[in-house]
Amino acid sequence: AQKVTQAQTEISVVEKEDVTLDCVYETRDTTYYLFWYKQPPSGELVFLIRRNSFDEQNEISGRYSWNFQKSTSSFNFTITASQVVDSAVYFCALSEGKGGANNLFFGTGTRLTVIP
Amino acid sequence: AAGVIQSPRHLIKEKRETATLKCYPIPRHDTVYWYQQGPGQDPQFLISFYEKMQSDKGSIPDRFSAQQFSDYHSELNMSSLELGDSALYFCASSLGQLQGANSPLHFGNGTRLTVT
């Protein structure tokens, strides 16, 4: 079963609009970590944010903000005043708590297109 | 800041050939991961190493093997290549035990393998 669900396959917005990318996760662990990565057309995976399961405080970084709600198992990502450079595929990912190396389970990604 | 280095960036092989992908982690990172991303797919975890020992195994085919060397670089060896092996292969590194579990994975730019 998919541990991370990104229901939005593709989203298109006009530049300067706000956009929210949804992420719903599933885990039985009490300790886990959630991530967002950006994959621009050039292909690399760029780390954006990590949250642990014990910290539900929302975070803002410039035009980016993240809303973590354990009650709904969601970790949504909002881009304010979108720009063309935000066009990319965005992946939400989950890492479950255990010692040592911790691999990521990725969602299927949301392709965001920002239209100038 | 130094990033994860992968080589080569692009590789074209024929069916049934072998390929070796290399990964040089961020200095002082002790954990290396390999991921496979098929066209239009999310990255899938293959295998990871912590302190030169295999720490976790995902959906890695038996035709593939990997190891981490004493200088922490890692190689992914792929034999009897099939058309379906065409994908973007990412290596990622992190601090495993030293910073506690689930320190962020930092990805390289990937190796694009095309099997013809």
Cβ distance B107 to A47 less than 8 Å, yes or no, reads: yes
pLDDT reported for residue B96: 65
What is the mean predicted confidence (pLDDT) over B11-25? Answer: 97
Cβ–Cβ below 8 Å for A108 and B42: yes
Question: Where in chain B does DSSP place strands (E)?
Answer: 5-7, 10-13, 19-24, 31-37, 44-50, 53-57, 64-68, 74-78, 87-94, 106-107, 111-115
pLDDT band with cut points at 50, 70 and 90 for residue A102: low
- Residue A101 pLDDT grade (very low, low, confident, very high; cuts 50, 70, 90): very low
Q: Which residue has the higher pLDDT, B94 or B101?
A: B94
| A45 contacts in chain B (CB < 8 Å) | 43, 90, 92, 107, 110
Average pLDDT estimate for B77-102: 84
Could you tell me if B97 lies within 8 Å of chain A, comparing CB atoms?
yes
Report residue A64's pLDDT band, with 50, 70 and 90 as the boundaries.
very high
Please give the residue that has the higher pLDDT: either B33 or B99.
Answer: B33
